[in-house]
Amino acid sequence: MKVLVTGAKGQLGTDLVKIFKEQFIVYGLGRAELDITNLEQTKQVIYELQPDIIVHAAAYTAVDLAETDEEKAYRVNGVGTRNLAICAEQVGAKMCYISTDYVFDGASTTPYREYDNTNPLSVYGKSKRAGELLVQSLCSKYFIVRTSWVYGIHGNNFVKTMMKLAKEREHIKVVNDQYGSPTYTVDLACFLKELIITEKYGIYHSSNTGICTWYEFAKAIFEEIDAKVILEPCSTEEFPRPAPRPMYSAMEHLSIKINDFSDLRDWRLALKEYIKSSN
C-alpha cells in the first residue's frame, strides 16, 4: 500500500513517515517536493506516484500571523487542501485531512463531539474549517481527523518552550483558563496508521485522553523534569494575542469509540514517555 504524506518534514509529518514505514510504502513530501497551492504541480506529482492514501499533514499553522496574512492561510489550508482532494478523487485514493480543535469557538463546557456545529473564531480556524468542507465535498473516501495541543520531538511546541524556560527563568506565568487535551505526535501517528487502512470514513477527534489547562500542562512538564521554578497561573486577558483562542477545546472521541478503535492513552503517560525519549 502506497501512502503519500504531505508536510513530511513537520512536527507530525516526521513521525508519520517514520511510523508508516513499518507497514507501508511511504512518500514523505515537504514543500520543496510538493507545492500543494499549485494545482498543476500537485496533479503531476500525484498522478506519477499513484498513492492509495494521501495523509495531508501540511498546513499553515502560524495562528497569530494568520490574522494579518489571511490570504496565505486560505491559500495553503483551503486551496492547497482542495488541490489534494481533487487529485485524491481522480486517482481513487483515500484522503486523510489533519484538522484542529480551532474549528470550535470554545464556548462549550463539555467536550465537543465530531458532528457538533463548528464556529471558528480565528482566521487559522476558519481556513482549516474551509479545508474540511472542501474535503467533504470533493472526496468520496475521506477521514477528517481533528487534533489539539500537538507536541513531538521534531519542531517547536509548548513542551519544548516550557523546558527551555525552566532553564532560563525562576518564575513563569501560564494561562489557567483555557482547557484542552495535549497530543503526542507518536500516539496520533499510531492511531492514523490504524485508521487509514479501514473504510470507516468520517470525522474523528484524536488527542491523548484527559483534559487540562495550559497551566496544568506546564505544571506536569516541570514535575516530569524536576524543574525548580515558581509557576503562577494567570488569565488569558493577561496575555493578549492577535488570534482568539477557544477557551474550551476538549474533544469527545465518539468516532473512535463507536468505530471500535483503541483510544489514545492518558496525556500524562504520553508526556512522561516523550520527556524520557527527548533526553
Contact 154, 14 (CB under 8 A): yes
- CB-based contacts of 39, cutoff 8 Å, min separation 6: 83, 86
Rg (CA), the chain: 18
Instruction: Determine whether 112 is an active site residue.
Output: no
Amino acid letter for position 277:
S
Amino acid letter for position 8:
A
- Residue in 81, 74, 77, 189 with CA at minimum distance from that of residue 136: 81
Contact 94, 116 (CB under 8 A): no
Q: What is the rounded distance in angstroms from the CA atom of residue 186 to the CA atom of residue 12?
A: 8
Cell of 39: 494545482
What are φ and ψ of residue 33, in 5° steps? -90, -25
- Residue in 207, 155, 161 with CA at minimum distance from that of residue 182: 207
- Residue in 242, 205, 218 with CA at minimum distance from that of residue 111: 205
Catalytic option among 60, 97, 112, 124 = 124
What are φ and ψ of residue 227, in 5° steps? -85, 135
- Residue in 208, 205, 210 with CA at minimum distance from that of residue 252: 205
Contact 208, 184 (CB under 8 A): yes
Residues with catalytic function: 124
